[in-house]
Structure 1
Amino acid sequence: FGSVLLPGTAFVELALHAGERIGCGTLEELTIQAPLVFPEHGTVVLQVVVGAAEADNRRSVTIHSSTQTNTWTLHATGSLSAEPATTGTPLTEWPPHDAILVETDGLYENLAAAGFGYGPVFQGLRAAWRRGDEVFAEVALDQDLWDEANRFGLHPALLDATLHAIAATGGPTGLDGPGLPFAWTGVTLTAIGSPVLRVRITHHQNATITLDLADGTGTPVGHIDALTLRPVTAEQIDGATPHPHTDSLFQLEWVPAPAVPDTAPAGEFEVLEIPGPDTGVDQITDVHTRVTDTLTRLQTWLDEDHPDTTHLIVLTHGATTADNTPITDLTAATTWGLIRSAQAEHPDRITLIDTPT
């Protein structure tokens, strides 16, 4: 859609590299929170942070970026472990028995027309076959880039090209049109630096696939238990410099509510107003105290015997960014998450209203 993105496979490579340096070579899961859109000018700083070992020896991993605006954008979160790598399945019989060759001529032209333009380095799909729910593909870097493959565990452009076989064979099950990697689970490597890959892709429901990766001889080099794809639109990737609160594939949008006619029926209603911050204590203590108090008041109201038409209005001040107004009360903002859960459990009984002051 006219914007230059870091491929989702590069986030995987970054996380695996960080994990390998501390003995955690298995990427148990990695969820892409927001795409990294490169600015037209300037540089992007990447930050990969691995957390301390937890009780089960797993470690968290996060990937952020920052541009000249000096704001940090969270792109991916996940976890690493020292679990042994999955051996993977050899792909020595090639092409696979009973697999049907799929025409791939014109694939990249068709993807470009759909808004997904791949540069020369990424046009690595060489052949694809289909056998039932399985897709087989052969991908390779141009030979003048083979030395570059040794710089990576698995070259991001090469891994990205394996996913192009899905588009060539009809798209993933449960996804209407092209998509981007969203969540990776169980990613392991048993060999590094291969410039050629054979891959077996197994389709599952809900746009999820499993990948077995092998080198040019069919020897396993990696395995991905599950990769889930998600659709993406031009509106979600508009080429603007990323903003930490607006570049996620999932967004909260404010929609003006229609005016209610004066003749609309109305029942009893009560107002639960969230008081302002207590300036006499530190902010963290204030948030915990006030949110806990709000929860108690909400539970008390729900336990009371009210007529079915009685409605609770929770009134906050400075809790949202509607109309581009800043959040001025952290507790009130936290309360909105709490009340949304209550709304889901008690439909049509609670309304949230926020005012700037």
Structure 2
Amino acid sequence: MTGVLTVLTDARPGPSSDFGVWPPRDAVAELVEDVYERFSALGLAYGPVFQGLRGVWRRGDETFAEVAIPTEQEAATGGFGVHPALLDAALHAVIFSPVFGDGRVRLPFAWTGMSLWASGARELRVRMVPVDSHTVALELADPAGQLVAGVESLTLREVSGDLVQADGGLADGLFQIDWTKLPARQGPAPAPVGTALPGPEEPVPADVLVRVERPTGDEAEATHTATARVLALVREWLGVERFAGARLVVVTEGAVAPEGVGADPVLSAVWGVVRAARAEAPGRLVLLDVEGGEESWSVVGAALASGEPELAVRGGVVYVPRLGRVSGAGALTAPGGESVWRL
């Protein structure tokens, strides 16, 4: 994803349509009471906060809409240029536009020339016009008729039918991390585990194992302390030239849960910091989570010899993370009369 953000220097322009006259002159009202049922039938299920479309009118190729944020969300509008639910509701008018005329599912893909002139709106008046067969332009105004935002072009891209089901669920577009057993293999004994990097006079093995313990204190305080420590450790490691030919193995216990729930959020944050650093220094950092006990430590050398950047050892079994599809098996059943959970 790429984008360019600049500061507007021009004064707020006048709208191309008279938003002060509402509903628009010579426009024909459309039925909106069933619009979210129509979206759901297409595989797009919107929760109550995002069901903000209040009225729609058509005039030739122009589509006008009135949208509002739910009352319980009004207090949050001041934190946004345009509240996400309000902006999303403005885009729902596309179902009445010629761009959406064939009933195929199209979602926002590329924004060009989006300008913001005011913030904190709770209601918007929308004008949407086609630019071509898959692109629209938008103007968003407040109830007084003053422009709030504008979009020169919004390109919509059709969603593959394989990704959408009539009940609003995803067929095979969701993925998760699965922990997969690594085949057993022989390997050298690992270097001793320390709590700091080797000193200037100490030899540097191929893998330098440094344990990161969970600090005391509440979760927030412990997380700040642990991540600060590991960040300092990684910076030192990457900044010393004599470490350049070795790997730093950050050792934890309980940061991940390859056999189910129970990962420690404090040490999980440590893994997050190291993952981010590894993106900038590939091949220099390894994450190793080991359940205490001789059985597990006996396979650490072989685990590290595999070259995997992330490993977990439980009961002498080595696990590595792999991307896998989310299956519907074991999923929670939605409440009666609903096709999806609405949180």
TM-score (norm 1): 0.44
